[in-house]
Amino acid sequence: MRRLGDSQPRCRPGSFARSEPPAANRPRPNGGRAGKAGWDRPDPSARSERLHGRPTTRRAGSGRRRRALTLDCRGWYHARSRVSTLAVRVLTNPNPPSSRNAVARRKDRPGPLDPRSAAILRAVIEEHVATALPVGSVSLVEKHQLDVSSATVRNVMAELERAGYLTQPHTSAGRIPTDAGYRLYVEAIADAVALAPVEQLMIRHQFGQVEYASEQWFRLAAATLAGSTHAAGLATPAKAQASRVRRVDLVMAGERMASLVLVFAEGPVKQLLIPLDEPLRQEVMDEAARRLNQRFAGQIAAEIERRLPALAREDDADHLAARAAERIVRALKEFDATAVEDVFSEGLLNVLAAPEFAQSDKVRRIFAVLQDRSWLGALVVEVVDGGDVRVYIGAENEPAEMRDVSLILAPYGRPGRATGMVGVLGPTRIAYPHAISTVRYVSGLMNELVDHLYA
């Protein structure tokens, strides 16, 4: 397989196009002023211009000529493979291509990089994701075939650090990506990633092994995401603005107590107790349940409540059905008032195993936030309103306890019917391409569940 460099210009030291400076009597670019020898004085923004690929002005002694360096390479460089240049075109294009499946963008989007800086930033991120260690210039040149010297890589990494995309944890250490660096990387690869067909088949096969029972699907979604991404998988139950009754069952729970099993159309199941004035046979309870299902299946709390006064009370089954209907209305209203009823999570040990979370107290605070129903409810609303995969990286998260993690979340369901959220939680150095594609695919499978529940 040919490398990318076999079909496109290679980025080598000294392979830059040279251009002549303007004559002394011409306007100076970037507002530069003429010096003693007639050469432009360097613009204070020259350092930023070198990073982003624009011409750079250099000071030169008398008799020497100023040179404007322009990069002559394109595309990401990846070891032993030929890869798409879409990521570089997004990073270097101030107006990246939009897509229906594009990851939701943040308002504070960083600016584009020149191709070489973008390739080095990507190499640093992929190396750090794989090793969890600071990355040095020598290892990048050896492992990623950047076709430039380690000194050049070191200089570019220094520029990326000054731009805020990399940071150096210790003076003698290599560099690691910042949240801004990860954000730029995610913006570039979001539209290009797709889950491998073999993984799609494996995940679909797993979902095909369970019935269309929502709780099983929620647990399976969280477990599948955790196993595939080696992070914590999350799934919230599908929830409608006004929940509907799917089915009702009544069974004896004691001599003077009936157990009402209420199945919501969205999937959750509630078990409620109804006191009885006198013992009843199971046959009476079965008849009361049949009448309830015949009258109220598919209805919301307001619709059932309007029909309560007209309910007949001619026999024991009618009396029990009327009392059960009142209890059903209360249960529906209580369920509708909660933003999120529950969150299914799997793979917490994956997060604990990450070096970033060696402090167990930090993990405890993170998962305490996940149990906050008001926070989780607001997050679900934001993700559902966004309409596609959303990525929250480090400091972009609120509250402060969540700023050491990244969340990759996607909505599922049908607006007007029921909606929920699936996703993963992991360290900021999570493998974003695979995580984004997996979350997006599982979200599509969950859409099928909602379609089935409301068929």
**End position of a domain, from candidates 162, 189, 216:** 189
- The lowest-confidence range among 18-27, 177-186, 230-239, 303-312 is 18-27
Q: For tokens 């570089």, what's the residue?
A: 88
pLDDT on residue 352: 85
pLDDT on residue 112: 74
Q: Does residue 156 share a domain with residue 294?
A: no
* Percent of the chain clearing pLDDT 70 (strictly above): 74
In-domain check, residue 67: no
pLDDT on residue 341: 67
Distance (Å, rounded) from C-alpha 376 to C-alpha 397? 12
CATH no. for residue 272?
A: 3.30.390.60
Mean pLDDT for 31-56 is: 42
In-domain check, residue 5: no
CB atoms inside a 10 Å sphere around CB 285? 24
Residue 203 reports pLDDT greater than 90: yes
Q: Does residue 257 share a domain with residue 381?
A: no
Q: Which of 50-54, 237-241, 243-247 has the highest mean pLDDT?
A: 243-247
Q: Does residue 375 share a domain with residue 410?
A: yes
Mean pLDDT for 156-173 is: 90
Confidence band of 374 (pLDDT split at 50, 70, 90) = confident
Mean pLDDT for 359-376 is: 83
Residue 6 reports pLDDT greater than 60: no
pLDDT on residue 215: 78
pLDDT on residue 242: 86
**End position of a domain, from candidates 152, 167, 189:** 189
Question: Average pLDDT, whole number, for the chain?
Answer: 78
In-domain check, residue 149: yes
Distance (Å, rounded) from C-alpha 403 to C-alpha 97? 29
User: If 0-12 CB within 10 Å is exposed, 13-18 middle and 19+ buried, where does residue 360 land?
Assistant: exposed
The helix-helix angle for 179-189 and 115-131 (nearest 10°) equals 110
**Prior bond of 415 cis (ω within 30°):** no
pLDDT on residue 190: 72
In-domain check, residue 317: yes
**How many structural domains comprise the chain?**
3
Distance (Å, rounded) from C-alpha 300 to C-alpha 21? 76
Strand partners, 390: 104, 409
pLDDT on residue 68: 30
Q: Does residue 425 share a domain with residue 287?
A: no
Confidence band of 382 (pLDDT split at 50, 70, 90) = very high
In-domain check, residue 124: yes
- The lowest-confidence range among 26-30, 181-185, 319-323 is 26-30
Q: Does residue 208 share a domain with residue 184?
A: no
- The lowest-confidence range among 58-62, 208-212, 370-374, 387-391 is 58-62
Q: Does residue 372 share a domain with residue 400?
A: yes
Give the residue from 124, 56, 53 showing the smallest Cα distance to 91: 53
For residue 420, the number of C-alpha atoms closer than 13 Å in the C-beta half-sphere is: 33
CATH no. for residue 397?
A: 3.30.450.40
Residue 350 reports pLDDT greater than 80: yes
CB atoms inside a 10 Å sphere around CB 41? 14
pLDDT on residue 440: 95
Q: Does residue 161 share a domain with residue 93?
A: yes
pLDDT on residue 10: 40
- Mapped onto helix, strand or coil, the DSSP state of residue 19 is strand
Q: Does residue 353 share a domain with residue 325?
A: no
Q: Which of 85-94, 213-222, 281-290, 366-375 has the highest mean pLDDT?
A: 281-290
pLDDT on residue 425: 96
CATH no. for residue 111?
A: 1.10.10.10
pLDDT on residue 58: 43
* Percent of the chain clearing pLDDT 90 (strictly above): 42
Q: Does residue 201 share a domain with residue 181?
A: no
Distances (CA, A) of 89 to 54, 164, 188, 233: 16, 21, 8, 32
**End position of a domain, from candidates 316, 337, 358:** 337
Q: Does residue 299 share a domain with residue 155?
A: no
Confidence band of 230 (pLDDT split at 50, 70, 90) = very high
pLDDT on residue 450: 84
Taking phi over 0 as left and psi of -120 to 50 as alpha, with beta for the rest, 363 belongs to alpha
Q: Does residue 251 share a domain with residue 218?
A: no
In-domain check, residue 77: no
In-domain check, residue 38: no
Contacts of 318 (CB under 8 A, 6+ apart): 288, 291, 311, 312
Instruction: Look up the domain containing 285 and give its range.
Output: 245-337
Tens digit of pLDDT for each residue in 88-141? 444 444 444 333 334 544 444 455 788 999 999 999 999 999 999 999 999 898
CB 446 within 8 A of CB 420: yes
Q: Does residue 258 share a domain with residue 320?
A: yes
Q: What is the dihedral of CA 287, 289, 292, 294, to 10 degrees?
A: -70
- The lowest-confidence range among 17-26, 115-124, 340-349 is 17-26
pLDDT on residue 46: 45
In-domain check, residue 150: yes
